[in-house]
Amino acid sequence: MKNGRILFALCVFSALMAQALTPDQLMCELLAKPGLVAVTDSTPEFSWCFKDGRDGDCQTAYRIQVATDTSLFKTDSPDLWDSGKVESPKSVFVPYAGGPLPGDRQICWRVKVWDRKGKEGPWSLNYAFKTAGELGDDTPLRYPLAQRHVEPARIVTNAAGRVFVDFGRAAFGWVELLPPRDMRRGGDYVLHLGEKAIGNNVDTKPGLTIRYAKVRGALTDQGVYRVPLMADKRNTSGAAVRMPPEIGVIMPFRYVEVEQCPFPITKQTIRQIAVTYPFDNKAANFVSDNDALNRVYSFCKYSIRATTFAGVYVDGDRERIPYEADAYINQLCHYSLDREYTLARYTLDHLMRHPTWPTEWKQHSIMIAWQDWMYTGNTEALSRWYDELKQKKLLSFCARQSDGLLETKGPDTAMSDGSRDIVDWPVAERDGFEFRNVNTVINAFRIHNLRQMADIAQVLGKADDAAEFKKLAAAAYDAFQYAFYNAERGCYVDGEGAAHASIHANIMPLAFGLVPPEEVPRVAEFVRWRGMSCSVYAAQYLLEGLFEAGLEDYAIELMSRSDKRSWMNMLNAGSTITMEAWDNQYKSNQDWNHAWGAVPANIIPRFVVGVRPLTPGFGKILIRPQLGSLNVVEGFVPTVRGRVTVSVRQSKAAYKLAFTIPYNTTARVEIPAWHGGTLKLDGKKIRPELVGNRWVLDNVESGSHTVTFNAL
């Protein structure tokens, strides 16, 4: 009997502990993958997610301990810092406030929290970070590049008697040969590497900037042999990002055709070494009842992973140069796929120091900084670059005094800062855009930038600047409608005095919320009429605008279709990384490895699954699935505070949304509004607020919930 009572008590204790709010997935200085890079900040910031706990749970207090050795935790006597119990819900970016951190040391830390009922939870696991030799101000950190061994997906002998090796997907890296141990001597080899194949042969004349290389040499020993590659002059000189010496020369390839080799080629004797930034491939997922959309998501997800090979977001293999517009799309996609923020932040710093020439690309710098803040909740990058963003990226030097609209000089004449308008790229993708000194696209970005700078100034405590930015944005908004909107046609023209109306002049206002609500249907219908008459870059704003206008059916159709201007076309052409343009026919020098073509990797999580931050750092989360004609959607999206999962099933008579948001957060849930049925949250009837054509459930607490609707 006594043993039974003890066992029962232990079971009860274990059950209670399993429900205690426990910190998990700790980060120091945004480093989700600890130990790979040294921290340089003398006052680093700590963040954590949670496991266990109960639905609706949140943190009311925390205690952090920092020590030079984990053994000090056993006696509860950390030698660097013990915060004591701090009454606060803050779980992201809590600054270190202990004694001076020693340089070039391994530092350990742990944290415990108190839940909403004041119950003390257990300590987290011990985490460690390394300090740099010299500590000072915050600097952007990045990990060293990772190398991954990839086995052949298929090996066949082709009609020419050569061994044809397919690694399944293209990757940036090199080939390694692994001679069998019983090989007595070396010998000559001749290999053909390429991104494109014709049947079971590497395409030796792929054209454009699709990569091919012929490599010959001789094996010198019986160990693992890296096949050396010749550097490409264009992507290893000038403004191109150089590869680290320990990585050396790499190229993108999927196929290897072995013309000559002194030993048999098998899965054990040849491999691809793929170079990428460290990437958690299991951090995000998406599946629906539309197979094409699933394939497009996987295609774009892999593209983002594969194109991190340079340790900074670059435009592709042809140039390997960071550009702001490319980086913005990279950033949104990367944030939607991995709980990883260091590469985007490092790229922002690079671009602030090395800006590029397009006018609109400069405007993207403010957008990158704003998204960094919204997705992380951290303001250090905003503080570091605030003056530069205000003085140079707003382009106020060319703003008209009368109304604040920007007056630029088009694509052929540089302004005083060296910038020239671009609208879209390549030139043929501009949908006949008629350049004017005061044009719609640049001024749509202008108003968007002013609104974001108002937010940035406010959070940095610059109230006067915030008020001024809001005033400028409001004046420019009114001038924008007067100068560019054609009420008779129901669309925006390309510029002041222009007769032509391109898709670009309409998708930017639609995506940025610049279209008056009563005019949204007309502008959206104009956009639908123009189809996919823009590049893979501008598709970012086309799709955002369509979702914001409630045309998710059409947006999903565009992402799923397989004509020449589609992601399925890229797959059908044989590329496994998104292309620079829709098809080879649209760009004479296009490459097959451009991350700015991977737009669905952020559009699907942010709009179809519907997960976006409403407050900085995902303190409050938007859950707004937009399925259109889809019947089934399931996905999970990483955030700085933990994973958000969403599952939707819908039919004509019923709707079911199941979702989970991390502890210590709340959500605003928006679902399609029906009438004549019963709406329930977690089994209880509710009467939510009706906003437009959506039911809105606000301030939903953390944990797992189910929303159902059943028609009468």
Annotate 613-634 with three-state secondary structure.
ECCHHHCEEEECCCCCCCCEEE
User: Residue 250 belongs to what domain range?
Assistant: 146-276
pLDDT category at 223 given cuts 50, 70, 90 is confident
Tens of pLDDT, residue by residue over 638-677, are 999 999 999 999 998 899 999 999 999 999 999 999 888 8
d(Cα 350, Cα 366) in Å, to the nearest integer? 14
Statement: residue 410 has pLDDT above 90: yes
Tens of pLDDT, residue by residue over 110-158, are 999 999 999 999 999 999 999 999 999 889 999 999 999 999 999 999 9
d(Cα 630, Cα 648) in Å, to the nearest integer? 10
Position 613 in a domain: no
Statement: residue 389 has pLDDT above 50: yes
The percent of residues in the chain predicted with pLDDT above 70, rounded, is 97
The pLDDT value recorded for residue 16 is 45
The pLDDT value recorded for residue 676 is 80
> Left, alpha or beta for 118 (phi > 0: left; psi -120 to 50: alpha)?
left
Domain boundary among 230, 256, 276: 276
d(Cα 61, Cα 89) in Å, to the nearest integer? 6
Structure tokens at 281: 């491939």
β-sheet bridge partners, residue 45: 95
Domain boundary among 241, 276, 311: 276
pLDDT category at 10 given cuts 50, 70, 90 is very low
Q: Do 94 and 187 have their domain in common? A: no
Q: Do 245 and 291 have their domain in common? A: no
| CA-to-CA separations, 467 to 189, 242, 445, 447, in angstroms, rounded | 68, 43, 19, 14
Tens of pLDDT, residue by residue over 554-610, are 999 999 999 999 999 999 999 999 999 999 999 999 999 999 999 999 999 999 999
Q: Which residue has the tokens 């052409």?
A: 573
Average pLDDT over the chain reads 95
Range 597-611 burial, b when 16+ CB lie within 10 A, else e: bbbbbbbbbbbbbbb
**DSSP state, residue 599:** T
Position 545 in a domain: yes
Q: Do 494 and 631 have their domain in common? A: no
CB 348 within 8 A of CB 355: no
Domain boundary among 88, 106, 136: 136
693 burial level (CB within 10 Å; 0-12, 13-18, 19+): exposed
Residue 31's CATH number: 2.60.40.10
The percent of residues in the chain predicted with pLDDT above 90, rounded, is 93
Statement: residue 7 has pLDDT above 80: no
pTM over the 0.85 mark: yes
Position 615 in a domain: no
Mean per-residue pLDDT for 346-359? 97
Position 141 in a domain: no
Q: Do 483 and 528 have their domain in common? A: yes
Tens of pLDDT, residue by residue over 552-566, are 999 999 999 999 999
Mean per-residue pLDDT for 76-98? 97
Q: Do 490 and 570 have their domain in common? A: yes
With residue 300 as reference, give the H or E element that holds it: helix 291-306
Q: Do 340 and 263 have their domain in common? A: no
Q: Do 597 and 628 have their domain in common? A: no
The pLDDT value recorded for residue 8 is 43
Position 186 in a domain: yes
Mean per-residue pLDDT for 677-689? 92
The pLDDT value recorded for residue 184 is 67
pLDDT category at 220 given cuts 50, 70, 90 is confident
Cα 478 off chain centre by = 33
d(Cα 349, Cα 355) in Å, to the nearest integer? 10
**DSSP state, residue 373:** H
Q: Do 215 and 345 have their domain in common? A: no
β-sheet bridge partners, residue 415: none
Mean per-residue pLDDT for 373-392? 97
For 569, phi and psi rounded to 5 degrees? -65, -40
Q: Do 579 and 629 have their domain in common? A: no
Residue 158's CATH number: 2.60.120.260
β-sheet bridge partners, residue 485: 492
Position 367 in a domain: yes
Position 173 in a domain: yes
User: At a CB cut-off of 8 Å and minimum separation 6, what does 326 contact?
Assistant: 313, 314, 315, 537, 594, 595, 596
Q: Do 340 and 432 have their domain in common? A: yes
pLDDT category at 281 given cuts 50, 70, 90 is very high
d(Cα 346, Cα 394) in Å, to the nearest integer? 21
The total number of structural domains that make up the chain = 4
Residue 627's CATH number: 2.60.420.10
Q: Do 469 and 555 have their domain in common? A: yes
pLDDT category at 5 given cuts 50, 70, 90 is low
With H, G, I as helix, E, B as strand and everything else as coil, classify residue 365: helix
Q: Do 188 and 293 have their domain in common? A: no
For 284, phi and psi rounded to 5 degrees? -145, 155
